[in-house]
Amino acid sequence: MQLRPLYTVRFIYPDGWDVELTAPGGTEEHHYYFAEGRCEGTIAGRFRAGNHPRRRTDQTFAMNMQGFIETDDGALIMVDYQGYGRTYPPGRRQVVGAAWHIASHEKYRFLNDSICVISGEVRRLKPPPAPLEQKDIQLVFVIAELVWEAPPD
């Protein structure tokens, strides 16, 4: 199998909320964030989404993001991102995941049965302002299509 780069999305969360649940087993967090940004690459355009991740007791974020890309050429692509926001390394945490897309525009219909992968980072401004707010953090995801190849005989 191969990976074919599709686009890089850079976004911030201008608004967000969270609820903490504490019990003898630890603290779990549930979040909701509005995402706004831009995609560049084979797919280029405005990105908007809602992410409602859960932060597990091991501090890993379980990403659950749905939204859309309004492409520069007038198409609408719905997106679904699932994955993990790792706790490391500090200051540039890693993100890994999978992405699915749906589009009716002929140019992007190849995405409708594709599976894509995400490799990304959570980046704080340097130096981080005090107090640090969610809007001061940028997320950068590289999205690549998993290209099918026949397994060996």
The pLDDT of residue 129? 63
- Cα separation, 52 vs 72, in Å, equals 27
What's the whole-number average pLDDT of the chain? 94
Tell me the pLDDT band of 21, cut-offs 50, 70 and 90: very high
The pLDDT of residue 91? 78
pTM of the prediction?
0.92
DSSP the chain: -EEEEEEEEEEEEEEEEEEEEEETTEEEEEEEEEEEEEEEESS-EEEEEEE--EE-TTS-EEEEEEEEEEETTS-EEEEEEEEEE---STTEEEEEEEEEEEE-SGGGGGGGG--EEEEEEEEE-SSPPSS--GGGEEEEEEEEEEEP-PPP-
The count of other CB atoms within 10 Å of the CB of residue 68 is 17
> pLDDT, tens digit, for every residue of 96-146?
999 999 999 999 999 999 999 999 999 987 666 667 667 778 999 999 999
Q: What kind of architecture, by CATH, is found in domain 2-147?
A: Beta Barrel (2.40)
